[in-house]
Structure 1
Amino acid sequence: GIRVWIPRDARETMRNIDNLLLRAPDGHLFPLKRVATLVPLSGQPEIMRDDLKRMVAVTARISGRDLGSTVREVKGKLASSRLIPNNVLYAFGGLYEQQQIAFRGLTIILIAAIILVFLLLLFLYESFRVAFALLLVPVFAVAGVFIGLWVTGTEFNITSRMGMTMIVPASDDRLILAGINRMRAISMTAFAAILALLPLALAIGHGAAMQQPLAIAIISGLVFSLPLVLIVLPALLATFESKAAAQ
């Protein structure tokens, strides 16, 4: 093919291009429409591929809502309707894909933290029963994190999962001190940590909203683990000791 370029004012409309003057070999001028048929065509599209498959990227901006609920709604719409044929595959990328990768990494860290804490307790107390009883408290405290996020309407995102991971060693530190300190000291320690995190949980100050899920997760875990440390844990230890004595 032959590509030509003409000034913008000469190609603003199809009529201008039809009447574009050309010079014949003998020198006279004639319009382009006498020797050519003009058909408007779009430009050559860019063909994108992913894993050797043709791909079309669909992007969007989210405003006024969180990423997780938006993706869930989009998935529900795509599953309930027949907008996409069966021979077309779709996947969610961008920030959502990065978030899922971070979630998987934090889940591995949480499991590793629980295993390491259990091994540490087993080394300190030399008893599977005691180590298991002590480990139940941070596990139940993690359940308190989900309750706190649900009550406050906070999204379970990367920062809240970081707070949930921090609850595991924090709860066990207070468990070890529970045999030495009194109830008042344990309560004061928990309340001091909660009061220190309240400004972040209430999103007070510039930039505090980014760390709000982290603070809410930690506060929920501390509030939920406090009665576990003071009431449930002694009952579990007494139950295990009575069973061990009976055996």
Structure 2
Amino acid sequence: MFENTINYKPEYVLDENGHRRRFKTDKAGYFLIDLKKVRNEVSGNKIEINGKKVEGDKIDINRIRGIKYDRENGKLYVLIDKQWEQIQSSPSGGLSQLIMKNVSFFLIPDNNGEYFRQWRPQIKKPDDIWNEIVKVTNLPGLTSAPKLQPIQTRLIMLSTGMRAPLGLKVYGPDLETIEKSGLEFEKILKEVPSIIPSSVFYDRAVGAPYIEIKLKREAIARYGMTISDVQEALQSAVGGMGLTTTVEGRERFPVRVRYARELRNTPEELEKILVPSMTGVQVPLGELAEMHYTRGPQMIRSENTFLTGYVIFDKQPGVAEVDVVEKADAHIKAKIESGELKLPTGVSYKFAGNYEQQIRATKRLALVIPVSLILVFLLLFFQFKTITASSIHFSGVFVAFAGGFLMLWLYGQPWFMNFSIAGMNMRDLFQMHTINLSVAVWVGFIALFGIATDDGVIMGTYIHQVFEEMKPATVHDVREAVVIAGKKRVRPAMMTAAVAIIALLPVLTSTGKGADIMVPMAIPTFGGMIIQMMTMFVVPVLQAIWRESGIKKTNGGKLKHIETS
């Protein structure tokens, strides 16, 4: 699977004849001509783009570099040796032939030797490619599919069973009741503003064509047969019956006998199956049973012994999954309370998806974050021996905490860093967009707590050393000692903060693998360290207030000192 693969897995609705509406999708998808290869995962065939129809329930679409499609004359061009060459299908319908055709322009290479390439003028980023796919496949009877990469799709389906990051599981006593309720939920979820209406779809459970065989008990009894006789004849003719097992060396192969496919693939042929009677007469199955098409379940899903149906949906960009689920749940409950939605007896529902992992992680973080703060405070207490001194230096954590949230807020503001330097927009360089609270963000805050007290410790430790040397006895002496110590620790404190800030710049501008995790993790640390430089002023001021209060409380101006190890 290629990194630039798009996994398109729509849901088909069967028509009145039980056939899937594929051909329109295949025809529409062909006009997305900037493709290299389409893999039909159902049949396992790899079909090169040469005008042939592409079919399949699950399609992997791979890009090719240097290919363009001229819609005016219907010509397809591919870049070979820096020159555009026209592609024309061979009359035999086989592999495409290349016909040389000079074109008056070339692609421009970048610094890495790769060519700057544009699919079409409106294609600027990967999301635009997905929007084009959704646009051309917006057909009646075909639902849109959520934007998922192949590996991501498999992980989600393994964890939730659904093919979407968010969904609603409907439990009920039978499939018909579940489908009726699922369609109602589908209409209601489309009304939620934070949900993309076109992505809401109930995964139909009923709709697959079945051949139903209804036995005529009177006719069977008239021929002196039993129900099991007819069922065994039908089983052996259609499903096959084990005859023997062949031994080929160390391998064994079962041998099954059944009718040829052309003798059992239609109801008319099934009616011709001969069933032996007690008298030796061969009776056609059509005289012993009635056969007709009926609609049945495409797939039977069950969880915790309950039949289940899925209503899948996707969120609007920039909205947290937890917020989407909370709003959707509140909207459904409001509909139930108002009487607009009446659930049948035995029907229940539950939201599922990636947000469940977020909730579980939030519960764990509710324990981890306080523990990390307590550990930081204990380390300060072991150093300074008093609660007051430890609290003064611990104040840097709260300053940095505010700075982290401020940076998260600024990332979501369109005006922040919205300027260009040397032709590069700063918002694009730092990938600025709305950042929701996630596990990665909270891990960044935990890392921030550990380094937020560095400047305070540097400043406070030297202030204590100066007090030990000068032994100030008046308020004026205390303030003078604090100023002297503070001036000599400005540069070390600035260097400590600058090292952390500069080290995070490559992370904030990274775009490779893992960047979607590392960037949210680095944002609160980056913002917290910038604001945390305020502790160069906060810690000396708090130290002065504490020392002055100690002098005022002592008799004769005797200064109360703290001890350090």
The alignment's TM-score, normalised by the length of structure 1, stands at 0.79
| % identity of equivalent residues | 24
1:211 aligned to 2:518? Answer: yes
RMSD of aligned residue pairs (Cα, Å): 3.3
Residues 113 and 56 (structure 1 numbering): CA distance in 2 closer, same or farther, change over 3 Å? same
* Closer, same or farther: CA 33–204 of 1 in aligned 2, 3 Å: closer
Within 2, Cα distance between the matches of 1:12 and 1:112?
67
SS of the counterpart of 1:92? strand
Equivalent residue, structure 1, for 2:325: 74
**Match for residue 123 of structure 1 among 379, 382, 399:** 382
Contact kept? 1:203, 1:209, Cα under 8 Å: no
Is 1:243 matched with 2:524? no
Task: Give CA deviations for 1:174-232 in whole Å, capped at 9, x if unaligned.
Answer: 211124362122112212211111111122444433311111121011012111x1122
Q: Which has the larger radius of gyration?
A: 2
Select which of 124, 135, 138 maps to 2:394: 135
Please name the residue that 1:172 is paired with: 453
**Who is 1:54 aligned against?**
306
Task: Name the aligned partner's letter for residue 172 of structure 1.
Answer: T
Rounded to whole Å, the distance in 2 between the matches of 1:186 and 1:57 is: 59
Who is 1:220 aligned against?
A: 527
Q: Secondary structure at the match of 2:291?
A: coil
Question: Are residue 109 (structure 1) and residue 368 (structure 2) matched?
Answer: yes
2:271 is aligned to: 18
Which runs of 5 or more residues in structure 2 are unaligned?
1-227, 239-258, 336-340, 412-433, 463-487, 554-565
- Number of aligned residues: 241
- 1:232 aligned residue: 538
Contact kept in structure 2, 1:122 and 1:128, CA below 8 Å: yes
Deviation at 1:41, TM superposition (A): 7.2
In 2, the alpha carbon distance for the partners of 1:196 and 1:11 equals: 71
TM-score, length basis structure 2: 0.38
Higher relative contact order (CA 8 A, sep 6+): 1
User: AA paired with 2:348?
Assistant: V
2:404 aligned residue: 145
Q: Which residue of 2 aligns with 1:201?
A: 508
Aligned to 1:92: 352
Measured after TM superposition, the shift of residue 25 of structure 1 is 5.0
How far does residue 125 in structure 1 lie from its aligned partner after superposition? 1.9
Greater than 6 Å deviation, 4+ residue runs:
61-64
Determine helix, strand or coil for the equivalent of 1:38.
strand
> How far did 1:158 drift?
1.5
Contact 2:404–2:525 (8 Å) recurs in 1:
yes
Of the structure 1 ranges 187-196 and 123-132, higher mean CA displacement relative to structure 2 is found in 123-132
- Which of 30, 33, 48 is residue 286 of structure 2 equivalent to? 33
Give the letter aligned to residue 235 of structure 1.
V
- Structure 1 residue 62 displacement after superposition: 6.3
Stretch moving more, 36-45 or 114-123: 36-45
